[in-house]
Structure 1
Amino acid sequence: MFGLEKKDKPLFEFDLEKELKGEPGKTKELLKKTDEAIQEIKSKLRQGTESEDFESSGKLLHGYAALQRVLTRIANKK
């Protein structure tokens, strides 16, 4: 019947993933920069900062961690 056929859904790809498919060197470079930023934020958090800075640094750390997961996913697919 209409609309009851089983169709394969295309795999979800991030915009960044589509952009970096052709440039494997760029992926490694971004991974390196992301790792450096994560280590820098972690060291600032360990040293202790004001509560406002602590909260914003924590959010920034989570964002970088998410970016790192996406980049490693892209690097492992190739």
Structure 2
Amino acid sequence: MLSRLFQRPAPHKQPLFAPASLQLSEKVHWLARRGLIDPLSYVQRHVRGDWGEIDEATRQANDVALDQDNLMISQYR
């Protein structure tokens, strides 16, 4: 049985919002500079409401932030 942390709702097919600005972690910048990941695929997941491996409280905060045009958090492995 999967923990609640990994039970994600299905992402939307269309973006939920247009990103105004993005803040990537230093680790993501490091990986991208070396060509080890493409951040665009994660940004595409984020704007469709797939926020990755976050807890339920953060997921609920993201839902509220979406309605209020505030900061949303995502985390991917």
More helix by share: 1
Q: Which has the larger radius of gyration?
A: 1
Normalised by the length of structure 1, the TM-score is 0.32
Structure number with higher relative contact order (C-alpha < 8 Å, ≥ 6 residues apart) = 1
TM-score, length basis structure 2: 0.32
